[in-house]
Structure 1
Amino acid sequence: MLKPDFPLRTSRLTLRAFTHDDLDDLHAIHRLPEVTRYLHWEPHDRERTRAVLEEKIACNALLDENRTLAIAVERNDTGQLIGDCMIRWLSREHSRGEIGFVFHPEHHGKGFATEAARELLRLSFEELGLHRVIGRCDARNAASAEVMRRLGMRCEAHLVESEYVKGEWADELIFAMLRREWESIPR
C-alpha cells in the first residue's frame, strides 16, 4: 500500500495530490494535440478534463494492485501545475509497477520530467517496495524515451506495430528498472 505523505518536494518541483483547483492548468495540458499525439486519447474539451480530474482526485493512494496513484506536478518557483504523473501497481505477486508522465510543452527540455519521474521511481521502490518498474511510450516519442534512459531505465523491448492508435499502427518501447539497479545509482 502507498499513500504518500504529500506534498513531496524535489529541488524544483512539488509532487502532490490533484485538487479541484487544478482544472484550468490540467486542461491547459490535456487540450493540446502535441501533448496527446502519442497517447491513446484525443485532446480533451473542458468537460472531459473535468471528468478526468475527478478520477485523478479519487486516485490518491495505491491500496492494492491494478490501481493507479495520480500525481500533480507543480513548479516550486511559480506554483503552476505543469505535469500529470502516475504510478500504477501492476502486480502484488510479481511486485511490478509502472510509471508515466505528461508535461505541458512549455516546460519540455528543462529536466522537469526527469526530476519528477525520478521521484516516481523512489516512491515505487522505497515506499511501495516494488521489485520492478516499467515505463512505456510510443517509439516515435523520442523525448519520453530519453527521459527513461536518463533515469537509468533500460529499453527491454521494441514492439513493432503492437497497438492501433489513432488510425495507425504504432510501435511501443518498454523500459524497465529493478530495485537493485535503483539502489546502485549514486545519490
Structure 2
Amino acid sequence: MSETRREVVITGSRLELARFDESDVEAVHAFAADPVVCRFTGWGPNTLADTRKFVADATRVRSDRYDLAVIRGQELIGSASVWTTSPEHLVGELGYTIRRDCWGHGYASEVAHLLVDLGFEKLGLERLAATCDPANTASVRVLEKAGLQREGLLRGLLLVRGRRRDRLMFGRLRPEPAQAGSV
C-alpha cells in the first residue's frame, strides 16, 4: 500500500477506520479474492474488476453510509461499512471483512465496536442490524461481543454461488440515556 494521507473517521485502540483511496485496489483484492475469506459472504471471491468497482464505489463520500478501510499501522487489513437502511425509522446495518492472516487477533471485534459507535453517533441511528452465516461461528462471537443480540434465523435469505444460504439476524438498539432523577 502506498503512503496515502487518509481521512481517519474513527480510531480504536489498535486500528483506524479511514476513507478508501483509489490506490487501495491491490490491498483490497488480496482479501476480496480469497475464497476462504469469502466463503460465508454473499459476494466474491472477487475478480480484479469487482474489486476495482468496490473501491471506486467506496471512495464516494455519502451522508448515509460509511465504507471504510481497516488500517493497522499503515497497512490496510480489511473493510468495514455501516449504512442507513431506513432513514424514516433510523435503522441501519453494519458489515466487515478482515484479511485471513489477521484473523484471531480481535480486530473484527474492535471494528464491530467502532461501527456501532459510528452508526449511533455519526449516522444518528436508533437500531443497528447485522447478519451472518450460521456456520460462521467467529462472526457470531464478534457480533455478540459488540452488543448485538441474536434475533432469529432468516431461512434461504441469500443465493450464494448458486445455493440458498440462511442468515442469522442480530440487532442492537441505541443505549437509553440515564433517566433524569433516577437512582
Shorter chain as denominator, the TM-score bin is: 0.7 to 0.9
1:52 aligns with 2:49: no
Using the TM superposition, name which of 130-139 and 153-162 deviates more.
Answer: 153-162
Aligned residues: 172
TM superposition shift of 1:10: 1.1
Q: Which of the pair is proportionally richer in helix? A: 1
- Where structure 2 has 5 or more consecutive residues not aligned to the other structure, the ranges are 1-6, 179-183
TM superposition shift of 1:151: 1.1
- Superposed, 1:84-95 pairs within 5 Å as 84-95=79-90
CA distances 1:54-100 after superposition (whole Å, capped 9, x unpaired): 11111x2324xxxx321111102xx1100111011011111100000
CA–CA separation in structure 2 for the residues paired with 1:41 and 1:55: 15
CA contact (8 A) 1:139 1:170 kept: no
1:163 aligns with 2:158: yes
- The match for 1:72 among 65, 69, 92 is 69
Large movers: runs of 4+ above 3 Å = none
CA contact (8 A) 1:23 1:49 kept: yes
- The match for 1:99 among 85, 89, 94 is 94
Cα RMSD for the two superposed structures? 1.7
TM superposition shift of 1:16: 0.4
- Where structure 1 has 5 or more consecutive residues not aligned to the other structure, the ranges are none
What is the TM-score when the length of structure 2 is the normalising length?
A: 0.87
Q: Looking at CA atoms only, which structure, 1 or 2, has the larger radius of gyration?
A: 2
- Which residue does the alignment assign to 1:128? 123
- Which residue does the alignment assign to 1:29? 31
TM superposition shift of 1:169: 2.3
Quote the sequence identity (%): 33
- The match for 1:180 among 146, 165, 175 is 175
Equivalent position amino acid for 1:70 in 2: D
